[in-house]
Amino acid sequence: MKFVAISGSLRARSLNTAVVRTAAELCLPPVSMTVYEGLGSLPFFNQDVESECPPPEVMEFRALLESADAVMISSPEYAHGTSGVLKNGLEWIVGGGELVDKPVAVVTASPSMTGGDRAQAWVKETLEVMGANILPESLPIPLASAKVTEGRVSDEETLAALKDVLAAMARAAKEQGAEG
């Protein structure tokens, strides 16, 4: 079973990148998780370019998502929304339909008390429009700076919650496989 994870932050010491890297390390065979590292290399979405000839970075991103049984998106909250780079990435896959019916878990890690709940709602609304199967086990992580050490989630409660999200992704992927 193949999962793909996307961090919506390009920051070297990103809390959300720590979340997806930790999640990937928590996956045990037969489940594996690929962390997509190319979000910052995608060009700005342009509908003309999309309809004429999408660049190779976009085709790779689409193919990776197409091949995934389930996807985890971990988003920062910037000015009560998601990051521009994540929104840009999602725009490139609206037309391709790679997330239609795909189980997607949304995580938001923020140093604030709210855990990035507004970015979480924002990402979910976009995913809903895209026809993704948004999992109810999505996870806000408040006060996340205190829960990450050296680029990995270190807080036991958060690790347990992350495992629950991964288990929900596996269940949903299995169900989707049975239906498809």
Ligand X SMILES: Cc1cc2nc3c(=O)[nH]c(=O)nc-3n(C[C@H](O)[C@H](O)[C@H](O)COP(=O)(O)O)c2cc1C
Query: Which residues form the interface with ligand X (CB under 6 A)?
Result: 9, 11, 14-16, 76-80, 109-112, 114, 116
Q: Quick check: 119 and 77 in contact, CB under 8 A?
A: yes
54 upstream amide cis, omega within 30 of 0: no
Give, rounded to a whole angstrom, the gap between the first and last alpha carbons of the chain.
Answer: 15
The CB-nearest residue to ligand X is 76
Least CB distance to ligand X at residue 60 (A) = 23
Nearer to ligand X, 46 or 152 (CB): 152
Q: What is the largest CA-CA distance in the chain?
A: 48
Nearer to ligand X, 4 or 109 (CB): 109
Nearer to ligand X, 22 or 110 (CB): 110
**CA nearest neighbour of 32 among 7, 69, 6, 84:** 69
Nearer to ligand X, 39 or 130 (CB): 39
Identify the H or E element spanning 90.
helix 84-94
Least CB distance to ligand X at residue 141 (A) = 10
Cα–Cα distance, 99 to 157 (Å, whole number): 29
**CA nearest neighbour of 110 among 168, 158, 165:** 158
